[in-house]
Amino acid sequence: MSEVALLQIIGLLVVGTGVGILLFIRSKFLRVGGFVIIVLGTFSLLALGVPQMASLPPAIETFDITKVKTPDDLAGIGQKIFFSKGQCALCHSIGPSESARCPDLKGIGAKLSPEFIYESLTEPQAYIYLDFRHEGVPKEYPARMPYIHKNPIALSKQEIYSVIAFLQKMSGEPISIDVDDVLKMRDRDAMTVAAVATHGAAANAGE
Ligand code: HEC
């Protein structure tokens, strides 16, 4: 039996005792006590009825890059990274969005070559893209494209090329990133690629 269920049974016993006192005992003093016990017991029962939540740090998903066989596998990993560890979706939308603070990346894999996208991610200041989606002179975007290979996002080369594969795939382009080339890249420790789930898991402490 879980801890919460045990406490709930104790609470019910306490409330039951209070009700018993009110029903069967005449002494005023004890009846007041019985009433107090009922109020306190009910309060504890209500409190125990509230779901117990514990927040855990975000789970890290790792992918073994050696298991990647096709460009589609690579794009699948890239998609996870785009929406989690890479934080791209914090700024970019895929498709028009009123709230997006940065260029819409829809079709970007068809517009830009993989080399240019790689440069956009790792040398974001080399060529600054301005916001033309309004009347008048183009403006700078309110945010800055971060250096994706440096802290805090710090994607490895393999991770960056997975994201580029995803950008090509979602633009309806054939993926031109070569899986074997990506397998050979080891700028950092590992042959693993990681995506961090954006939402921490919630656990019910009662389970
Ligand atoms: C903090 C906000 C922010 C994050 C996070 C971010 N970007 Fe950007 N990105 C921008 C801004 C602003 C620009 C436009 C200015 C520029 O070109 O430097 C841009 C430009 C780009 C461009 C060039 C677009 C063009 O049409 O030339 C690409 C490609 C791109 N980002 C991809 C990504 C990817 C992939 C990620 C995740 C790995 C990412 N961005 C994360 C803000 C961001």
Proportion of the chain above pLDDT 90, given as a percent: 59
Q: Does 43 share its domain with 142? A: no
Q: Does 12 share its domain with 97? A: no
* DSSP-based three-state secondary structure for 78: helix
Q: Which atom of ligand 1 is nearest to the CA of 129?
A: 17
Predicted local confidence at residue 200, as pLDDT:
43
Does 160 sit in the ligand 1 pocket, CB within 6 Å?
no
Q: List the one residue out of 82, 78, 105, 84 whose CA is nearest residue 94.
A: 105
Does 170 sit in the ligand 1 pocket, CB within 6 Å?
no
Domain with 156 in it: 60-202
DSSP code of residue 54: E
By CB neighbour count within 10 A (0-12 exposed, 13-18 middle, 19+ buried), where does 31 fall? middle
Q: How far is CA 182 from the centre of its chain?
A: 26
The closest residue, in CA terms, to atom 35 on ligand 1 is: 88
Does 88 sit in the ligand 1 pocket, CB within 6 Å?
yes
Does 107 sit in the ligand 1 pocket, CB within 6 Å?
no
Return per-residue pLDDT of the chain as tens, 207 residues.
788 889 999 999 999 999 999 999 999 999 999 999 999 999 999 998 888 788 887 788 888 888 899 999 999 999 999 999 999 998 999 988 877 778 999 999 999 999 999 999 999 988 888 888 788 888 888 888 999 999 999 999 999 999 999 999 999 999 999 999 998 887 665 667 888 765 544 333 333
Q: Count CA atoms closer than 13 A to 89's CA, side-chain side.
A: 14
Predicted local confidence at residue 179, as pLDDT:
93
CA of 146 relative to ligand 1 center, distance in Å: 7
Could you tell me if residue 207 is inside a domain? no
Does 128 sit in the ligand 1 pocket, CB within 6 Å?
yes
DSSP code of residue 131: B
| Total number of domains in the chain | 2
If phi over 0 gives left and psi between -120 and 50 gives alpha, with beta otherwise, what is residue 109?
Answer: alpha
